[in-house]
């Protein structure tokens, strides 16, 4: 496949925290695009209070993708399609871990395609060993004192450990 211009993929999410599953999807997106914009939604439809502030989530993302110049980490607010236009995205990438993710992601993709018919949506499944993994599971296991080191990068693990340290809780 020969491309006449650079293809930019937008990978939106809350990334609270970024997991190895997120990292896997972002890196694999580079197989079908030249550049990936990992975008933290400031005003997510998720009504839960985030574990980490927007700034901390961006810091974590920038740390885990520091070695990959083709991945840019930013935040956005408002409609996804508006941000996609603003950053010049050709496609939006979403990860699907299980069949249960599909219905919601399909519905969101259809709505966004109604808002911008020129925007393409692709779904990637993570590596099979990460298919069960979600940020909410990582948060819960970490909160209860479990070992989440197999599921997050070392810098994220450090922040989670500090976040749930009962003696010296950090500013999040």
- Enumerate the domain spans of the chain: 8-163
- Looking at residue 40, its pLDDT comes to 97
- Beta carbons of 160 and 172 less than 8 angstroms apart: no
Q: What pLDDT digit, counting tens, does each position of 1-28 carry?
A: 566 789 999 999 999 999 999 999 999 9
Give the helix, strand, coil percentages of the chain, each rounded to 5.
Answer: 40, 15, 45
Tell me the whole-structure pTM to 2 decimals.
0.90
Q: What pLDDT digit, counting tens, does each position of 33-64 carry?
A: 999 999 999 976 665 789 999 999 999 999 99
- Give Dmax over CA atoms of the chain in angstroms: 56
Domain 8-163 has CATH 3.40.50.620: yes
CA separation for the pair 61, 52 (Å, rounded): 12
């Amino acid at each position: 496949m020969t491309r006449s211009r650079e293809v930019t993929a937008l990978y939106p999410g809350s990334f609270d925290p970024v997991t190895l599953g997120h990292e896997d999807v972002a890196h694999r997106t580079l197989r079908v695009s030249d550049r990936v914009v990992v975008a933290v939604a400031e005003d997510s439809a998720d009504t839960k209070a985030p574990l980490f502030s927007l700034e901390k989530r961006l810091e974590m993302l920038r740390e885990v993708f520091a070695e990959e110049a083709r991945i840019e980490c930013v935040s956005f607010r408002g409609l996804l399609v508006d941000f996609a236009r603003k950053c010049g995205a050709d496609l939006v990438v979403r990860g699907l871990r299980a069949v249960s993710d599909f219905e919601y992601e399909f519905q969101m993709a259809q709505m966004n395609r109604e808002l911008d018919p020129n925007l393409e949506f692709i779904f990637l499944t993570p590596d099979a060993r990460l298919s069960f993994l979600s940020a909410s599971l990582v948060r819960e296991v970490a909160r209860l004192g479990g070992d989440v080191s197999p599921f997050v990068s070392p810098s994220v693990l450090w922040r989670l450990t500090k976040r749930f340290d009962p003696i010296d809780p950090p500013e999040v």
